[in-house]
Amino acid sequence: MKTAIIIDSSTGIKDLSGYPNVFLAPLMIINSEGDAFKDDLLLTSDEFYSLNDKDLLKTSQTVVGDMYALWDDILKEYDNVICLLLSKGLSGQYATYKMLANEEQYMDRVFVVDTNGVAVVGKRQLDLAIKLLNEGKTPQEVMQTIETLYANKVGYIIPKSLTQLVRGGRISRAAAGLAKILKITPVLKYNGIIDKEDKTRTFKKAINLAITKIKEQYTGDYVIDVAYSRSPQEVLDEVLQLVKDAGFKIGLIYDMPNVIVCHTGRETFALIPHFEN
């Protein structure tokens, strides 16, 4: 049985040259004038950040016609396809394609996984899916394993700058101004959705608070993956050192995908615990 994997660009992986049997279904990035850009390899990181710095960008699902065409092409060569898409709590991407996979021609051939994943979590899930398929697991077994392992995954997101959150209307300018004066940094919880968790004084204390919360929630042998949007090197170094000082090993150090940066902006960090599978 020959199985392919589809990821969307919420993993941040666009260059698939090192991933045989893996295909990309890019999400869409839309500017304030309504122009849409596929979030694929043709949209370079520099081009994206240039767009994002000067405009309020929005995101949307993979174009349905493009996904249909991708499924049809893949199923000419492969028996099955596993779709690892953006968390249902962050987008309608999962719900849309879970429904469409029930159409007769795709039934029992296209498996849309309820990932609760994005960014470095999606990267971990892709690696796991490849490993399981290489071990001879069926698409159904791969789907069940990922859904079970990641159903309750929790991590934390810390935006050092509130600029993008203000631009997107997620917090008011007045609140952001007060937070800047008081040096308040929010800590956001990620568990398939992104929600407010806590706040503290200074960015450093926010990182340490996130680490403390991870310690309280998890036991056993795990590493902490660090995902981040563009930041000065000294800020990244500070975050990595704080994780190490807390006694943790660093897992992956990972660029945050464009579709998340559209909403959080530069200098945003995510700390995600990872147990070796």
Task: Indicate left, alpha or beta for 267 from its phi (over 0: left) and psi (-120 to 50: alpha).
Answer: left
- The tens digit of pLDDT for each residue in 136-152 reads 999 999 999 999 999 98
Q: State whether 165 and 133 are in the same domain.
A: no
Residue 84 bridge partners (DSSP): 7, 113
Residue 196 bridge partners (DSSP): 188
Q: State whether 90 and 39 are in the same domain.
A: yes
Q: Which CATH number do you get for residue 122?
A: 3.40.50.10170
What pLDDT was estimated at residue 267?
A: 92
Sheet with strand 3-8: strands edge to edge: 22-25, 3-8, 80-84, 110-113
Q: State whether 132 and 181 are in the same domain.
A: no
Final residue belonging to a domain, choices 131, 149, 167:
149
Q: State whether 91 and 218 are in the same domain.
A: no
Sheet with strand 28-30: strands edge to edge: 36-38, 28-30, 58-60
What total number of domains does the chain contain? 2
- Residue 17 pLDDT greater than 90, yes or no: yes
Final residue belonging to a domain, choices 149, 171, 190:
149
- The tens digit of pLDDT for each residue in 200-246 reads 888 999 999 999 999 999 998 999 999 999 999 999 999 999 999 99
The secondary structure of the chain, three-state, reads CCEEEEEEHHHCCCCCCCCCCEEEECCEEECCCCCEEECCCCCCHHHHHHHHHHCCCEEECCCHHHHHHHHHHHHHHCCEEEEECCCCCCCCHHHHHHHHCCCCCCCCCEEEECCCCCCHHHHHHHHHHHHHHHCCCCHHHHHHHHHHHCCCCCEEEEECCCHHHHHCCCCCHHHHHHHHHHCEEEEEEECCCEEEEEEEECHHHHHHHHHHHHHHHCCCCCEEEEEECCCCHHHHHHHHHHHHHCCCCEEEEEECCHHHHHHHCCCEEEEEEECCC
Burial of 16 (0-12, 13-18, 19+ CB in 10 A): middle
What pLDDT was estimated at residue 60?
A: 95
Chain centre distance of CA 38: 17
- The tens digit of pLDDT for each residue in 83-132 reads 999 999 989 999 999 999 999 999 999 999 999 999 999 999 999 999 99
**What residue type is assigned to position 181 of the chain?**
I
Q: State whether 79 and 191 are in the same domain.
A: no
Measure the CA–CA gap between 198 and 163, rounded to whole angstroms: 19
The crossing angle, in degrees rounded to 10, of helices 233-245 and 203-217 is: 40
Q: Which CATH number do you get for residue 214?
A: 3.30.1180.10
- Residue 155 pLDDT greater than 60, yes or no: yes
Report the C-alpha dihedral over residues 222, 131, 189, 253, rounded to 10 degrees: 70
Q: State whether 164 and 40 are in the same domain.
A: no
Final residue belonging to a domain, choices 132, 149, 166:
149
What pLDDT was estimated at residue 14?
A: 93
Taking alpha carbons only, the member of 110, 42, 112, 36 closest to residue 73 is 110
**Tokens (6 digits) for 64:** 């349905």
What pTM value is reported for the model?
Answer: 0.91
Least confident window among 13-17, 202-206, 273-277: 273-277
Q: State whether 187 and 251 are in the same domain.
A: yes
What pLDDT was estimated at residue 183?
A: 54
Q: State whether 102 and 208 are in the same domain.
A: no
Domain boundaries, position 178: 155-274
Q: State whether 64 and 134 are in the same domain.
A: yes
Q: State whether 251 and 124 are in the same domain.
A: no
Round the average pLDDT of the chain to a whole number and report it.
Answer: 90
Contact (CB, 8 A) for 257 and 118: yes
Which phi and psi angles does 264 have, rounded to 5°?
-110, -25
- Residue 193 pLDDT greater than 90, yes or no: no
Q: State whether 8 and 145 are in the same domain.
A: yes
Q: State whether 204 and 264 are in the same domain.
A: yes
- Residue 23 pLDDT greater than 70, yes or no: yes
